[in-house]
Amino acid sequence: MNSFGYMSTNHSSWPVLLVIYNLPPGLCMKQKYMMLSMMIFDLKLPRNDINVYLSPLIEDLKLMWDRGVEVFDEFSNETFKMNAMLFYTTNDFPTHGHLSGYSVKGHKSCPICEEDTASQQLKLGRKTVYLRHQRFLRSYHPYRSLEKTFNGHQETSSPPTPLTGVVDYEKVNNIDHTFGKSKQKSSVINIC
């Protein structure tokens, strides 16, 4: 959300909402069951520093998962231990990169296709564009045969095979990633 201008970076607001998903589908997205756990205001986008803002929430979620919290149930007039977990996050693609540490820029930025990402650099604008999205459609879908509308070729290939959890773990097991901005060396000049 940008409160003070269209596509301007004069101000940035990031709402962090918690939604209770063990309610019936008609209730879980009602406003009274959504909790605004925090609102991140800053002059700049938090980018890789998002973990600094989310660390108190992560600590609370760890506590609620491991030990639980005593909660009073007014209907039955008794207390019980409530455990909770983070089921999933919903965010845009750049935020996905900041939260996961995955690079969402460049020629191989698709987390599903990875090495099989079909990308091309535009000559004049030097932007990277991503092609061959029709391969995710059914094999007999009419969009697969539209050559002029897409990249000039009829799409005949199938989508990439999704990675298993074991393969994902092997890829990220030895990655050493530091969240937040790195400390830059100061360029102080001593004049004697």
E runs forming strands in 69-152: 69-73, 78-82, 119-121, 128-130
pTM of the model: 0.51
Q: What pLDDT is attached to residue 80? A: 92
Closest CA to 60 of 98, 99, 18: 18
Round to whole Å and give the CA distance between 167 and 67. Answer: 31
As averages over each run of 10 residues, the pLDDT of the chain (192 residues) reads 54 77 83 84 69 79 90 91 81 75 78 80 84 85 85 82 82 71 50 44
Q: What pLDDT is attached to residue 189? A: 46
Q: What is the DSSP letter of 124?
A: T
In our burial notation (b when 16+ CB lie closer than 10 A, e otherwise), range 131-160 reads ebebbeeeeeeeebeeeeebeeeebeeeee
Largest CA-CA distance found in the chain, in angstroms, rounded:
77
Round to whole Å and give the CA distance between 135 and 144. Answer: 7
Round to whole Å and give the CA distance between 76 and 160. Answer: 51
Q: What pLDDT is attached to residue 130? A: 81
Pair of tokens at residue 132: 């061959």
Q: In a 10 Å sphere around its CB, with 0-12 CB exposed, 13-18 middle and 19+ buried, how is residue 96 labelled?
A: middle
